[in-house]
C-alpha cells in the first residue's frame, strides 16, 4: 500500500458508508486505479473496525429506561432550548387556534343568518 492514511474528507465519506463516492474521489485525486483506491479504503475500514473492537464494552453505560413522560419532557426541553438559541418567540395563540376560531365564527354567522331567514 503506497499510502497508509486517507485524506480526512475520504475518511468521512467512508464513515458515512458512501463507498462509491469515496473510491471514485480518492482514485481521481491520487491518480490511481479504482481497484487500488478500493484496497486502500478497505484497509482503512478494517483498521477502523479493529480499533472499535478493541474498546471495552464497559466504556458505554447501559442506556437508562425512560418513561414516556420523561421522554416527552426531554423533548420539550430540547425544543425550548432550540427556540431560545434561534431567538424564536412563540405567538400567544397558536395558528391552529386562530383557524379553528375563524371556522367556528363563520359557522355561527351562517347558522344565525339561516335562523333569521327561516324564522
**Does residue 8 have a pLDDT over 80?**
yes
pTM: 0.43
Confidence of residue 68 (pLDDT cuts 50, 70, 90): confident
- With helix as H, strand as E and coil as C, how does 27-95 read? HHHHCCCHHHHHHHHHHHHHHHHHHHHHCCHHHCCCCCCCCHHHHHHHHHHHHHHHHHHCCCCCCCCCH
Q: Quick one: average pLDDT of 16-45?
A: 90
Amino acid at each position: 500500500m503506497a499510502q497508509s492514511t486517507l485524506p480526512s474528507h475520504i475518511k468521512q465519506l467512508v464513515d458515512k458508508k458512501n463507498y462509491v463516492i469515496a473510491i471514485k474521489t480518492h482514485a481521481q485525486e491520487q491518480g490511481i486505479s479504482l481497484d487500488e483506491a478500493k484496497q486502500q479504503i478497505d484497509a482503512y475500514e478494517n483498521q477502523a473496525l479493529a480499533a472499535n473492537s478493541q474498546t471495552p464494552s464497559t466504556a458505554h453505560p447501559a442506556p437508562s429506561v425512560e418513561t414516556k413522560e420523561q421522554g416527552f419532557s426531554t423533548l420539550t426541553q430540547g425544543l425550548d432550548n432550540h427556540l431560545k438559541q434561534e431567538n424564536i418567540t412563540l405567538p400567544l395563540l397558536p395558528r391552529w387556534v386562530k383557524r379553528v376560531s375563524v371556522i367556528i365564527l363563520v359557522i355561527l354567522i351562517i347558522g344565525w343568518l339561516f335562523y333569521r331567514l327561516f324564522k
